[in-house]
Amino acid sequence: MPLSGVKIVEVGMNLAGPLAGAIMADLGADVIKVERPETGDDARAWGPPFVEHTSLPFHNMNRNKRSVVINFKDATDMERLYQLIEQADVFLHNLRPGVAEQVGLEADLLLSRNPRLVYCGVTAFGHTGPLKDKPGYEVLLQAFGGLMSMTGQENGPPVRMGTSVVDYGTGMWTTIAALAALRKRDQTGRGCVITTSLFETAVFYVSTALIQYKKTGKAPARHATGSPRQVAFGAFKTRNGPLVLGVANSRLFFKLATALGRDEWVTDPRYQTNASRMEHREYLIQEIAAHMAQETKEAWMERLEAVGVPCAPILTIPEVIAQPQTKAMDMIREVPDSPLEVMGLPFSIDGQRPDFRSRAPQLGEHTDEVFNNTDPPEKQ
């Protein structure tokens, strides 16, 4: 596997840090998860439901890892941890600001003991600035980073996005940066310090709106499923439920016009460019909505797909699972020695999705194995 032979020490809790560890574990790294005694990662208690006394989010983010228990207040435990880190390629944590320094896991100290170490620190608001010591969670950063201001119905209140996009994104950025740093270390022989934050991720996700405001002085409005830049994007009601259209350019708009029976739009000078269509957006949206309401979503999908207009129904989670495409892509997979099926990494290498080698560990399950320098058993 791509990261076979790479050793990662993860002091991760909740979601962003453990996701970075999970990605690298799925890619073959030996990820040793360091947890506090008795309770471990807070995410273990994020239930019900529970499987084997552990929450589903924990199972999802901690497969393919080994768990050891370390008491940060115990000098003997800390020395064992330092020796482990001295053998590691990556150290990853998302402790509350200031805690790494309090317990002796700050970057300068660990790099002095292991100059080849790639040190990854994940925080809520970043490594510098007036809020660097402020803790935070997904919902707070969706609010503070501007995402909520752009999400929801046009005249309704701001809305939290339906999944933890900021945590997931931060975990991915951390992984990308760590892999780049490992590549650099291969060339220089020296590690470095990687810093990521939920705040940076949230603001990155609104970057287009940000630069638009910097240029125009106009803050973006909420558009529900629609787009502030294109006609026609978003959900339109049909006789039996909404259908989402993705008309991203003039070629697709003209195909939509033909499918709607409005061939005159194809030659109308008012609709020849996206900019000119945006000037008449309200009229066009009303006309498209009136046509779409006359038939079922199935009828419209058949007609639109026949001419190449992207469209999709709004599926529920059970419908996503039941989709033949989901099964064909082998996206939801069984976890060894577990009753669970979870989503694998969303990419394949040479046609093969990275596999699961082991279930999420029980708290401290591998403490003796790790500190007796026993390699993890290979699971096919």
- d(CA 152, CA 240) in angstroms, rounded, equals 22
Q: Which CATH number fits domain 7-205+329-371: 3.40.50.10540, 1.10.8.60, 3.40.640.10, 3.40.50.10860?
A: 3.40.50.10540
Whether CATH 3.30.1540.10 fits 233-315: yes
Domain ranges in the chain? 7-205+329-371, 233-315
Q: Where are the beta strands (DSSP E) in the chain?
A: 7-11, 30-35, 50-51, 54-55, 65-69, 90-93, 118-123, 192-197, 233-238, 241-246, 311-313, 332-334, 341-343
pTM over 0.75: yes
> What is the amino acid identity at position 198?
L
Three-state secondary structure of 18-53: HHHHHHHHHCCCEEEEEECCCCCCHHHHCCCCEECC
Question: Each residue of 292-320: pLDDT tens digit?
Answer: 999 999 999 999 999 999 999 999 999 99
- pLDDT < 70 stretches in the chain: 374-380
Tell me which DSSP letter residue 148 carries: G
In CATH terms, are 7-205+329-371 and 233-315 the same topology? no
